[in-house]
């Protein structure tokens, strides 16, 4: 049952291919329940204000409830030949109620109708994504608690830099995700206004009660300006931006995982269900899920760019271009949910190879900064201490040694008489880890405090 309810003064209808081009039903059909909720609130206000008869309002409300139930159960299928979800639902209502059904649209436009549907949908879906992020954070923190003393190299420029722990690394990932969750919820707070009653752009001459409709739909207030209500989609931009940042975080995490899974590193062994084989090489175990999550970041950035480009040249107020906002936004939200649901169990089932991580702390002179700071504690100015440590590293390289611990005390004292035998304990990776106990650092007690703080922020 294709419905074209908005023809107005136009007598000629578009041909099938053109109609399909302008149709949005394949995208906005997910807004069906929100569209019905908005219509029911609108009708309740219309009868309260004496704009439509009570008998008609009761019939409309009962029929809308019935349509909602039939859609939920599958008894009523959405007609994919309809122009959009709004015309489909109003078409069913009119077909069943006749002129009473035609009263539902008094005082509103598709412009404010779609705006309220989209906001209602986001009020439902965004908290679900925030919960996916929270659950992912909890998984990372649980794994981190098991590795507070698992020593591994920390990297800058992808070069071994200083000893950290696996727990410290996983907690760093979690800190980014906690901010991602806050971004989604913060964006939700700004879209929490009701645009219904704005009409096409300039409200209506009918005596609507916008405040009552807003309260009925769970919004704290109506939108401030009717033109802004239908013209702007900055809330969509915010959410697409939050999704792109989330995807960028997950992409970087997966880049670490992909590197760690190589034979050259060997830090992580992904469970077989989160790996794939090769079509030609029998030995391969590829981190394809991590690679796919990494690849989705490009898609998410594209969704944000699509929305920015869509909006940047539109004159105020409403333009049909805005029909294109939902496909990119829905994909951004769907992809966020999907990637989190893949990333979380991939991490939960991974085996981390402590032996390889600890072995990687030897060689590369990760202890050099500890040597410099040892000398600082003995009273040497840092720049001089830095130079002495650099000279010791050069001596090691010249002697073919891979660690400062291989230098004799006499060798060390040839560079500074401040060196003593206690240095050898200081530069052990486990000791270096414990000694980095400042707030935010990798020492077990410091990471334990970070985990507690991140859990507090997650609520």
- The CA angle 354-359-361, to the nearest 5 degrees, is 105
Q: Which string of DSSP letters, residue by residue, matches 266-333?
A: --EE--GGG-B--SS-TT--B-HHHHHHHHHHHHHHHHHHHHHHHHHTPPSS--GGGGGHHHHHHHHH
List 157, 189, 279, 439, catalytic entry? 157
Tell me which residue has tokens 């989209």. 118
Taking a C-beta distance cutoff of 8 angstroms, is the pair 230, 112 a contact? yes
For residue 211, give both structure tokens: 């405040």
Nearest CA to 197 out of 225, 218, 220 is that of 225
402's enclosing H/E stretch is none
Q: What are φ and ψ of residue 286, in 5° steps?
A: -95, 140
CB proximity list for 75: less than 8 A, separation 6 or greater: 69
Question: In whole angstroms, what is the distance from residue 430 CA to residue 150 CA?
Answer: 9
CB neighbours of residue 106 within 10 Å: 14
DSSP 140-190: HHHHHHTTTT-EEEEEETTEEEEEEEHHHHHHHHHHHHHHHHHHHHHHHHH
Distance CA 165, CA 249 (A): 20
Whose CA is closest to 109, among 176, 38, 52? 38
Q: Which of 42, 147, 278, 306 is catalytic?
A: 278
- Structural tokens at position 160: 């071994």
Q: Are 346 and 136 in contact (CB under 8 A)?
A: no
Catalytic residue status for 278:
yes
**Crossing angle for the helix pair 110-145 and 234-260, nearest 10 degrees?**
30
Whether the CB-CB separation of 14 and 97 falls below 8 Å is answered with no
Active-site residue numbers?
Answer: 157, 278
């Amino acid at each position: 049952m294709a419905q074209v309810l908005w023809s107005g003064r136009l007598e000629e209808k578009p041909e099938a291919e053109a109609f399909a081009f302008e149709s949005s039903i394949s995208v906005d059909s997910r807004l069906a329940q929100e569209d019905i909720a908005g219509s029911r609130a609108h009708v309740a206000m219309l009868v309260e204000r004496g704009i439509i008869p009570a008998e008609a309002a009761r019939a409309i409300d009962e029929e809308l409830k019935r349509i909602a139930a039939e859609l939920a159960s599958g008894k009523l299928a959405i007609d994919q030949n309809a122009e959009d979800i709004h015309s489909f639902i109003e078409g069913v209502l009119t077909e069943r109620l006749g002129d009473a059904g035609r009263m539902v649209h008094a005082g509103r436009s598709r412009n404010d109708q779609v705006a309220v549907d989209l906001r209602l949908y986001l009020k439902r879906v965004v908290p679900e994504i925030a919960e996916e992020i929270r659950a992912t954070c909890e998984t990372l923190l649980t794994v981190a608690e098991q590795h507070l003393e698992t020593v591994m190299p920390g990297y800058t420029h992808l070069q071994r830099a200083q000893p950290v722990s696996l727990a410290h690394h996983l907690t760093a990932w979690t800190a980014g995700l906690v901010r991602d969750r806050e971004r989604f919820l913060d964006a939700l707070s700004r879209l929490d206004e009701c645009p219904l009653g704005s009409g096409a752009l300039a409200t209506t001459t009918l005596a609507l009660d916008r405040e009552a409709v807003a309260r009925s739909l769970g919004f704290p207030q109506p939108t401030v300006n009717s033109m802004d209500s239908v013209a702007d989609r900055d809330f969509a931009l915010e959410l697409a931006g939050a999704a792109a940042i989330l995807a960028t975080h997950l992409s970087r995490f997966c880049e670490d995982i992909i590197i760690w899974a190589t034979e050259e590193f060997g830090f992580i062994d992904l469970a077989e269900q989160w790996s794939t084989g090769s079509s030609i090489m029998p030995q391969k175990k590829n981190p394809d899920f991590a690679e796919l999550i990494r690849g989705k970041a490009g898609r998410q950035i594209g969704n944000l760019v699509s929305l920015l480009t869509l909006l940047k040249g539109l004159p105020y107020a409403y333009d049909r271009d805005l029909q294109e906002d939902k496909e990119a936004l829905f994909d951004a939200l769907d992809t966020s949910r999907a990637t989190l649901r893949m990333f979380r169990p991939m991490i939960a089932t991974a085996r981390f190879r402590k032996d390889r991580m600890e072995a990687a702390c030897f060689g590369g002179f990760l202890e050099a900064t500890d040597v410099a700071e040892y000398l600082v504690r003995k009273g040497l100015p840092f720049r001089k201490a830095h130079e002495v440590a650099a000279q010791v590293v050069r001596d090691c390289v010249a002697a073919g040694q891979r660690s400062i611990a291989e230098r004799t005390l006499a060798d060390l004292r040839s560079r500074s008489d401040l060196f003593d035998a206690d240095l050898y304990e200081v530069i052990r990776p486990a000791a270096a880890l414990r000694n980095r106990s400042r707030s935010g650092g990798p020492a077990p007690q410091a990471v334990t405090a970070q985990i507690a703080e991140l859990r507090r922020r997650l609520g």
